[in-house]
Each structure stands twice: as structure tokens, then as C-alpha cells.
Amino acid sequence: MRMIVLAAAACGALAFAHVEARAEGPWCLLDTDGCTSCSYQTRAQCVASASGTGGSCQRNPNYSSSADARTRKQRTN
């Protein structure tokens, strides 16, 4: 019974392991294992983390800055 519970927990963990990139930061690190981390605010931060690991950096396609979210439509009277 314990093995069934552990196997179910492992399957649940694997199901959440390949979640798409969220809009955490404007830069994403793509490592050689296929994992994505979009927690970088600048490209320099991303490149520093990618150095030595063979990863690459790219813009986060799901990111929208807070300034974009707060823009107002201009009224037409």
C-alpha cells in the first residue's frame, strides 16, 4: 500500500514538472535539459546563470510589465 501511495505522489510530481513558462520576469533561461526558468529581471542576470551550463537566454513571451497592465484607454468625448 505504501508503494502505491509513493508511486502516485511521484506521478503527481512529474505531472507538474513540465509547466509552461509563466510571466515571472522578462528573461527566461533555457537549460540543456529542457527546463525553463523565467525569473530574471535583466538579460545580464540570465547570461550569468547560463554561463558554464550551456543554457541560453531569451525574452519571456508571456511577460507583460506592470506599466503595460496599467495603461488606460483615452476617452473620446
Distance of alpha carbon 67 from alpha carbon 74, whole angstroms = 15
pLDDT score of 5: 60
Q: What is the pLDDT of residue 33?
A: 86
Return the higher-pLDDT residue of 55 and 66: 55
Taking phi over 0 as left and psi of -120 to 50 as alpha, with beta for the rest, 57 belongs to beta
Q: Round to whole Å and give the CA distance between 40 and 62.
A: 13
For 35, phi and psi rounded to 5 degrees? -85, 150
Asked if residue 57 has pLDDT above 80, the reply is yes
Mean pLDDT highest for which of 22-26, 39-43, 50-54?
A: 39-43
Residue 14 has pLDDT above 60, yes or no: no
